[in-house]
Structure 1
Amino acid sequence: MKRISAFLVVALALNTAFFAQNNSNKELTMEQCVNTLNVENSQSTKVGYQYWFADKEFLDGRTLKLSVVEPHKATHEPHKHEEDEFFFVLEGTAEFFLNGETVVAGPYTSFYCPPNSLHGIRNVGDTELKYLVIKKYNLSDK
């Protein structure tokens, strides 16, 4: 668990660094800046659950989400959107799809999805797949 916590801190730092160009000037409290995984507050999906450490309302559309996917399943089919996106594998075995190509990788691997690229991630292992999703939503699309 300590290893996961350390990587969550790194991921949040990356999230801030990659998307700093739209930095908010709002003042935040310590309580707003610290978010510890609480599975009871997670959202169930058809294939597991997700937990938002930072949702798009928190800070200018920048997000950090944990996705947990059951063995041999995917949250959805490959898709595309205008925002770029990072996946960071914490546990399990992921198959990453990008524009017709695939690669299989394990923990401590990042995958980058450029804007408007056809991409997806699925669990190809026999254990849960846990990965972080780092993305900045375009809030003008609300």
Structure 2
Amino acid sequence: MKTLVTGMLILFSLISNAQMEPIKEGLYAWDEFPVKKSDLKEGRAILEGTSPHLEYIEMHATTQKPGATPGPAHANEDIEECIIVREGTMKITIEGESKILGPEGVILLMPQQMHQMENVGDTDLTYYVIRYRSKKPMNIERGTKAGGSLMINADSLTYKPSSRGGGVPYFDRETAMCERYEMHVTQLDKLGPSHEPHTHNETEIILMMAGNTEMTIAGKTYQAGPGDFYLAKSGSLHGIKNLGEGSCRYFAFKWN
């Protein structure tokens, strides 16, 4: 009976994935994400579907109020995660190792590792979770050799000035699911573009942390502020610019 049930669950998963639609590119606005509230917690569903290099990708945002009970520790069998702290103070524990992360802290979580996230501050903790499975076979050994899971605090990284502002590199590496996963923060201190419009093989997300921007993707123009993000699919011509006289700041991360 156990074998039959397991087989049915696998079949259901395959059917569900086969019915998934490709994620749309363009603007995803924070104020438009549906909110589900429970005791001292809020969840926001953002997207779910497929992408050119991923057979499954899902993104959501979670808010834990002060004193919220964290979810139980768990592991993902065949899902990798990237987690970004928007606000608050998080205690993240992976395989028994814990670290405190503040705003713009990032976690790269390999599959099959026990983990738990907890609000240990006196303000709301809000973070984005991107969960994904590659179309190519999962490669745990590759991810381990590249550095395994990461817990990165923003203040542990070096800001590199540029002519238009500066940036903070987080990582550029292989993972268990991706042949390349690259993430950095860009800050633009001047009105105008970050760089000329361009294309690349990777799908890319631009997640706004501060300021206001405008981005053109495949001939369409969008505007975003803090909490919003843009998504440009593999091969789409895209370019971003700062709309204000003050600074803007955003995460850029891409994968294939």
What TM-score bracket applies, with the shorter chain setting the length?
0.7 to 0.9
Listed as ranges, the matches of 1:51-90 within 5 Å are 51-53=168-170, 55-57=171-173, 59=175, 60-90=179-209
- Going from structure 1 to structure 2, the CA distance change for 1:58 and 1:127 (only over 3 Å counts) comes to farther
Give CA deviations for 1:2-26 in whole Å, capped at 9, x if unaligned. Answer: 7174564445x42xx23x4255431
| Residue segments in structure 1 that go unaligned for 5+ positions in a row | none
Structure with higher Rg: it is 2
Contact 1:95 / 1:122 at 8 angstroms: preserved in 2? yes
Measure the CA separation in 2 of the matches of 1:80 and 1:135: 12
Match among 149, 154, 158 for residue 41 of structure 1: 158
Give CA deviations for 1:20-45 in whole Å, capped at 9, x if unaligned. Answer: 4255431757xx72222238712222
- Going from structure 1 to structure 2, the CA distance change for 1:39 and 1:47 (only over 3 Å counts) comes to farther
- Going from structure 1 to structure 2, the CA distance change for 1:89 and 1:48 (only over 3 Å counts) comes to same
- Going from structure 1 to structure 2, the CA distance change for 1:35 and 1:134 (only over 3 Å counts) comes to same
- Going from structure 1 to structure 2, the CA distance change for 1:119 and 1:70 (only over 3 Å counts) comes to same
Return the TM-score normalized by structure 2. 0.44
| Residue segments in structure 2 that go unaligned for 5+ positions in a row | 1-84, 89-101, 107-126
Listed as ranges, the matches of 1:103-122 within 5 Å are 103-122=222-241
1:98 aligns with 2:217: yes
Measure the CA separation in 2 of the matches of 1:7 and 1:36: 7
- Going from structure 1 to structure 2, the CA distance change for 1:125 and 1:61 (only over 3 Å counts) comes to same
- Going from structure 1 to structure 2, the CA distance change for 1:24 and 1:75 (only over 3 Å counts) comes to farther
- Going from structure 1 to structure 2, the CA distance change for 1:38 and 1:102 (only over 3 Å counts) comes to same
Q: Select the structure with the greater relative contact order (CA < 8 A; seq sep ≥ 6).
A: 1
Give CA deviations for 1:31-64 in whole Å, capped at 9, x if unaligned. Answer: x7222223871222221111122x2236442122
Give CA deviations for 1:105-126 in whole Å, capped at 9, x if unaligned. Answer: 2111110001111101110112
Q: Which amino acid aligns with 1:90?
A: M
Measure the CA separation in 1 of the matches of 2:191 and 2:156: 22
1:88 deviates by 0.5
Q: Structure 1 vs Structure 2: percent identity of aligned residues?
A: 21
Number of paired residues? 130
Match among 81, 87, 92 for residue 3 of structure 1: 87
Give the structure 1 partner of residue 21 of structure 2.
Answer: none
Return the TM-score normalized by structure 1. 0.75
Q: Which has the higher strand share?
A: 2
Structure 1 outlier segments of 4+, above 4 Å: 6-9
1:134 aligns with 2:253: yes
Measure the CA separation in 2 of the matches of 1:23 and 1:75: 35
